[in-house]
């Protein structure tokens, strides 16, 4: 799991979730998280099922709603502190399915990994207005601490832009979520491609270091 991690955000979208996702995939995104905080279960199910079809060839995860993830046969689910406990989610998921967990502290990160998380969403790294409940930024140093202690992939989120993405990668992020910088951009495909190019350049730089 590496590269740009695309998360749907209907409130910021210019062209709609389906179009945004299709364009993100064109740009090389290999993991998509369906995030929808409003609507009935029936509406979420129908939308997630349609999006699941769009994401053939990419990993498709559902935010928060384990029931929706199971219903559409998603590749996994991402949960936070207000959702079902990690051990319960791990038990509900089918073998081989991906479990991502949002963490803010080193203790939360270590516990989540011990309880079965396949990757961690760390953040907000910087101040963000995209998620009203995100809380205060945890900062680059926290990301470094978690990277040092946890060997699972890390997805950094919160206030990330092209201008600070290299710093986030250098701190240990395997994946980057930059919702506002991408979904609000005039062209989602071009915005995702710009982040993917940063990852490619970063890998080249690492190979050239003697």
Topology given in CATH for the domain delimited by 3-208? TIM Barrel (3.20.20)
pLDDT, one tens digit for every residue, the chain (210 residues): 899 999 999 999 989 999 999 999 999 999 999 999 888 999 999 999 999 999 988 999 999 999 999 999 999 999 998 999 999 999 999 999 999 999 999 999 999 999 999 999 999 999 876 665 657 899 999 999 999 999 999 999 999 999 999 999 999 999 999 999 999 999 999 999 999 999 998 876 555 544
SS3 content of the chain, % helix, strand, coil (to 5): 40, 15, 40
What pLDDT is stored for residue 199 in this prediction? 92
Sequence-distant (6+) residues with CB within 8 A of 56 are none
């Amino acid at each position: 799991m590496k590269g740009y991690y695309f998360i749907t955000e209907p409130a910021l979208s210019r062209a709609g979730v389906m179009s945004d996702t299709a364009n993100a995939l064109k740009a090389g995104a290999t993991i998509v998280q369906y995030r929808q905080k409003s609507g009935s279960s029936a509406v979420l199910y129908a939308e997630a099922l349609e999006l699941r079809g769009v994401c053939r060839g990419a990993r498709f995860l559902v935010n928060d709603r384990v029931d929706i993830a199971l219903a559409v046969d998603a590749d996994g689910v991402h949960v936070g502190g207000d959702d079902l406990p990690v051990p319960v989610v791990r038990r509900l998921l089918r073998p081989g399915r991906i479990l991502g967990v949002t963490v803010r502290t080193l203790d939360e990160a270590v516990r989540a990994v011990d309880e079965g998380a396949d990757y961690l969403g760390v953040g907000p790294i910087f101040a963000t207005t995209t998620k009203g409940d995100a809380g205060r930024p945890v900062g680059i140093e926290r990301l470094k601490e978690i990277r040092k202690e946890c060997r699972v992939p890390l997805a950094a989120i919160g206030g990330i832009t092209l201008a600070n993405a290299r710093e986030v990668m250098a701190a240990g992020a395997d994946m980057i979520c930059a919702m506002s910088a991408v979904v609000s951009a005039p062209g989602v495909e071009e915005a995702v491609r710009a982040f993917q190019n940063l990852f490619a350049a970063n890998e080249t730089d690492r190979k050239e270091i003697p």
